[in-house]
Structure 1
Amino acid sequence: MRSASANIVLDALYESILRLDDGARLPTVRDLMKTYRVSQATVQDAINRLRDEGLLTSQVGRGTYVVKGGGAGPVQAGGRPEAELDSLVILSNASMNERCTMVQNAIMQDMAGDGRKVVQISYHHTDHLLEILRSIPDFDAAILQSHYESIPIRLLHLLQQKTRALVVDGHTVSGVDIDRMGTDWEDALELALGHLSGLGHQSFGLVSLDTMAQPILAVRRAFSRHGTFEGGRRAYFEPIMLEGIRHPTLGTEDALGRALAGLVDADGKLPFTALITVGISDTLGLRQCLARMGVDCPRDLSVTVLGHHDVPAEHLGDMTVAGSSQREAAEKLMETIGRRLAEPDLAPQIVYLHCEQVVRRSTAAPRPAAG
């Protein structure tokens, strides 16, 4: 039996639906709570009831809309449209960085505002994760966040069985019919090199994770090709892999210090005036390493991070970053899920995020050569 407050909200929404046109957007859950002075649970219960009756539908990441004339799309047993996203599981390796956390939080806030369900699972042992997934109910959709590690095929297959939409956040899978989204890091590299060259730099270094993951490997190869194609007009030093640093969140200060120590000359100078990093989230460790070596950034060395320009742990307020946005990533993940739910037979989607460069204080023109 519904409470009086629940009846008030439900009746008011019925009246609104009668007045509104097909496709009209309802107020947000928070607005309805304020208007009728009821709890979030009361509003969500009313919306869920109307959604089950086919009078409302939710557009992923956009809101709740009025449906008239049976336009809510195919309906499953139980009265819920098949194209609706009501439950989502987000999986991430235990080594996830701040960008992954920010993407998860944005999606969770978006879905929770409409009364939908989100489960977040951080895992370290794949077999244990598989046991957990087999023991829980199915979800409408799943997001698998991949850092530069490989993804077991058995995990992908199980997630396909447990959901109607699966998206891999990262381009670490290939040859598999699965939707995936990621950043074109080669594009980000070109932005960084264009900016640094425009400042007058003629010698470049590249530091990356110690991994053969395809996105990182592609950047190292593209960087090296520049030296070949430019015929010696600029110097591109051999890419540096930070020994033992295989995940973005691992500390870089000591590993980078060891790698750069063998490159400095008798005057303590590095052979390049500009440095680009890829796959590294520990920008603080990078900065601390340079400070310990007595390398002033940007006076002695300009540094550009290939990463996410709206993640504070990566830009630290003063690092130039070329790459993608965590906010756009959250939006594109939800859009990709929405298309898959609406069109189950759609060919696998490969979504590239827009690359942009945000210039900050870590890059500047190189100092004139002495003498």
Structure 2
Amino acid sequence: MKTKSKMSKDAAVRNKLKRKIAEGQPGDRLPRVRDLMSEFGTSQRVVERVLAPLIEDGQITARPGAGLHIAQQPDEPEAVFNADCLILYRASESRLARRLLVELVNRLRRNGYRVEMKAFVDEAEGESFLERQGRFRCCLLQTNFEVVSVRFLARILDCADALVVDGVSLTGIDADVIGTNWREALSVGYRMLQDRGHSRIGFLTSAHDARQIAMARREFLLLSGWEGPAPHPRLHTVAALPGSYRHSDLVGALPESPSDAAASTALIIWGLVEGRLLDAVLQEKNLKLGEDVSLLLLGSVDVPSEHVSRFDIVGNSDREKLDLFETVVTARIKGSKEPPRTHYLPIYTVVNGSIQRHDATLA
């Protein structure tokens, strides 16, 4: 005969599971065995004893490596998923973009989710991979500003119940889109420089035609009151995507010497992920930061390798972005019925001393 203590623990675990089943939906993840052991201070044998009849009755499914889930109803055949989340990312030189994905994968796997990652060079390679796959509960797509065709998006949705996109270039589609409004960040930074007396403000960015980049260039023209038709003398574009800039890309945008009267007194740089590269160019040109030129970066305020604690920076929080991806992807894996939407990250400013007041009468 069971003791009263054993019966009470059995009942507590059983009641918890039945309540979760009643409140949840087929396919929802249930607490792990070790979590139930910890919550009720009981052994694995007790938890497995409670689970056995629930699994046998078809109320719970248990698969090695996948954990416990609420079972599908008999008239709703259970879908077979290759993994809970597929992460598709376009191969690029951006270590920051790749690092975010790796950290996200680690978080999801620690929570018991099955995750598969796949890099692709172009859409043809991505489609070829998808053709050989089954289904996924959710797909996270990272394109690093490259153009995405409607056909490719449709192919992804043929394989995934939900789509999450890194970057707000793709808005107005049936997917959760997460990213930063870089026009807003540029406006904040430009006005910071104006408030400190700068009027000869330059902007270094990519020449790529991606929507976010093109709109940021247009925003700079509007902020500076430039109507053309000649090219803006202080708009410096480089033939590389953000995150892929080289030493030579920075050299031409900075003054040739401290006495260069025609050059920008302040420069906004978007897309630089290695602050040491900018430091090296300043030393090479013998320019004093904040005296010969004020520098402002657009990027991640909490990634030290970008601003090296020297350059003022306006942009998003990399940690907040990672947290938001985890929240949204997890909700889609669980089958959230909330309508997809665009999630804009807040804009922050960190002042490290690379912007100094400029005598407006000399501008």
Band of TM-score, shorter chain: 0.7 to 0.9
TM-score of the two chains, using structure 2 as the length reference: 0.74
Aligned match of 2:189: 192
Tell me, in whole angstroms, the C-alpha distance in 2 between the residues paired with 1:333 and 1:287: 32
Structure 1 residue matching 2:119: 3-state secondary structure: strand
Inter-partner Cα distance in structure 2 for 1:295 and 1:13 = 73
1:256 corresponds to: 250
Counterparts of 1:92 and 1:55 in 2: how far apart (Å)?
32
Q: Aligned residue for 1:137? A: 134
SS at the partner of 1:140? strand
Q: Which residue of 1 aligns with 2:235?
A: 239
CA contact under 8 A between 2:311 and 2:354: conserved in structure 1? yes
Shift, 1:188, TM fit: 0.7
- When residues 76 and 252 of structure 1 are mapped into structure 2, their CA distance, relative to the original with a 3 A threshold, is farther
1:265 offset after TM fit, Å? 6.5
- In 2 relative to 1, CA 163–265 (structure 1 residues): closer, same or farther, beyond 3 Å? same
Aligned residue number for residue 95 of structure 1: 92
Of the candidates 201, 204, 223, which is equivalent to residue 204 of structure 1?
201
Q: Deviations over 1:56-82 (max 9, x none)?
A: 9xxxxxxx9999xx9x999953399x9
Q: Is the 8 Å Cα contact of residues 90 and 118 (structure 1) preserved in structure 2? A: yes
Q: 1:27 to 1:199 in 2, by over 3 A?
A: farther
Q: Closer, same or farther in 2 for the Cα pair 1:266/1:185, shift >3 Å? A: closer
- Aligned residue among 282, 300, 303 for 1:308: 300
Larger mean CA deviation between 135-144 and 273-282 belongs to 273-282
| Contact in 2 for aligned 1:216/1:279 (Cα 8 Å) | no
Q: Secondary structure, in 3 states, of the residue corresponding to 1:205?
A: strand
Distance 1:76 1:282, change over 3 A: farther
What SS class does the counterpart of residue 289 from structure 1 fall into?
helix
Note if contact 1:216-1:278 (Cα within 8 Å) is conserved in structure 2.
Answer: no
Residue segments in structure 1 that go unaligned for 5+ positions in a row: 1-10, 57-63, 230-235
1:307-362, Cα deviation, whole Å (9 max, x unpaired): 11122332223322211122222232344342693217x3x412211111122232
Q: CA deviation at 1:17?
A: 5.1
CA RMSD of aligned residues (A): 4.3
Instruction: Measure how far apart 1:181 and its partner are.
Output: 1.8
TM-score relative to the length of structure 1? 0.72
Deviations 1:156-195 (A, max 9, x none): 1111010011011112225643332211111111221233
Corresponding residue to 1:364 among 353, 356, 363: 356
Change (3 A) 1:187 1:31: farther
The 1:27/1:21 distance shift into structure 2, 3 A limit, reads same
Which sections of structure 2, spanning at least 5 residues, go unmatched? Answer: 1-7, 24-29, 227-231
Residues 98 and 313 in structure 1, CA contact (< 8 A), matched pair in contact too: no
Sort the Cα spacing of 1:309 and 1:111 in 2 relative to 1 into closer, same or farther, 3 A. same
Partners of 2:345 and 2:237 in 1: CA distance: 25
The answer to whether the 8 A contact 2:295-2:354 is kept is: yes
Residue 204 of structure 1: how far off its partner (Å): 0.9
CA distance in structure 2 between the aligned counterparts of 1:241 and 1:297, rounded to whole angstroms: 22
Q: Secondary structure at the match of 2:319?
A: helix
Cα 1:266–1:366, aligned 2, differ >3 Å: closer, same or farther?
Answer: closer
User: Would you say 1:121 and 2:124 are equivalent positions?
Assistant: no
Number of aligned residue pairs: give it: 329
SS of the residue corresponding to residue 321 of structure 1 reads strand
Bigger shift: 274-283 or 208-217? 274-283
| Letter of the structure 1 residue corresponding to residue 105 of structure 2 | M
Q: Pick from 316, 336, 339: which aligns with 1:342?
A: 336
Q: Distance in 2 between matches of 1:271 and 1:207?
A: 13
Q: Is the 8 A contact 1:21 1:66 kept in 2?
A: no
Letter in 2 for 1:77: P
Local SS of the residue matching 1:212: coil
CA contact (8 A) 1:208 1:277 kept: yes
User: Which letter does structure 2 place at the counterpart of 1:257?
Assistant: V
Match of 2:283 in 1: 291
Residue of structure 2 in register with 1:78 after alignment: 78
Do the aligned residues in 1 keep the contact of 2:171 with 2:177 (CA within 8 Å)? no
Deviation sequence 1:279-309 (CA, Å, 0-9, x none): 3334332332222111222232221111111
| Cα deviation digits, residues 97-136 of structure 1 (max 9, x gap) | 2332332133222211221111122222331222122112
Greater CA drift, 294-303 or 208-217: 294-303
